[in-house]
Every structure is written in structure tokens, then in C-alpha cells.
Structure 1
Amino acid sequence: MDSNQQKTFFTFDGDVGGTAGYAGVSATSDASIVAKTASKYLNDSLLLNQLTEHVYKLLLKDLRSQRERLGNYNSQRWL
């Protein structure tokens, strides 16, 4: 599946976020579509490798973001 053929796995059921933006997104998923796509990725090693690389990059980005936030909280800027 390339970027032009992205499928929708989730259907949004309501308002996204609350007044402060902390509420989760209410969504439902279509299990049959998810299972079909998972099977496709599990049977194609190239697609699975691309998926794992993408997930790894997203995790690294998230870790960097968390480190930045923690660094900002631990700074001595108030002294």
C-alpha cells in the first residue's frame, strides 16, 4: 500500500477533543479491513520491512520529543 492508496481503518464517531484537548478520539475500527491489511503485510516481507522501519522512525521521533519536554522541565531557568 503506497501513500496514494491509504485505507481508512477507523470511523470517527464524535467530536475530537474536549475544551482542553485532552479527550481521546472516539472511533470504531473495521476488523475485517484491518485483518486483511495485516495479512497482506505479514505475507510480503518488503512491505513488513517498510512498516517496521516507519514505526521505528516514529518511535525515535516520539522519544526525542519526550526528551525535549523533560529537558525543559529540568532546566534551571527559574534560578
Structure 2
Amino acid sequence: MDSSSIQPSTAPVGDIGGAAGYAAIPATSASKYPSETELLDKLCERVYELLREDIRAQRERVRNYGSRRW
């Protein structure tokens, strides 16, 4: 099934029920994202940067978890 065959629902996501309710939001909002490859590449790079920063912060927290602060 592709996103063009999914009909948008006006019902709240909680009323749809099951895992299918969560798929409706990405399928309907996917059309809002640019189709140009340059902008999509920029988006991917930014997501990658954010993920790397998050992983770095998590490693730092784990490393400092057992150390005394005072």
C-alpha cells in the first residue's frame, strides 16, 4: 500500500484504534515534505547530526553516572 491510496481520516487517532491509527499521521503528512533531493539531503543530514549529538550526550551521561560530583 502506498501513501496515495490512504484516505485521510477526520477521527482522532485514538478513535481509530490499533497500530493503524499511528500510520495515518505519517502517511498524510508525508505529502508535506519536499520532493527535491537537495532539501531531502539537508533534512537527512540534520537528522543524522541530531542523532549523533544525542548518542554523544548519552555516552557522556553513562560515563559520569558513577562518578562523585562533590
With the length of structure 1 as denominator, give the TM-score of the two structures.
Answer: 0.47
Q: CA RMSD in A?
A: 2.9
Considering fraction of residues, name the structure with more helix: 2
The DSSP-based 3-state class of the residue aligned with 1:63 is helix
2:42 to 46, 50, 54: 50
Structure 1 segments, 4+ long, off by >6 Å, are none
Q: How many residues align?
A: 49
Rg larger in 1 or in 2? 2
CA-to-partner distance for each residue in 1:36-71, whole Å, 9 max, x for gaps? 223x2xx21101100010001000110111011101
Percent identity, please: 44
Q: Which amino acid aligns with 2:45?
A: E
Q: Which has the higher strand share?
A: 1
5+ long unaligned stretches in structure 1: 1-28
- What residue is the counterpart of 2:30 in the other structure? 35
Structure 1 residue 73 corresponds to structure 2 residue 65 = yes
- Shift of the 64–49 alpha-carbon distance from structure 1 to 2, 3 Å rule, reads same
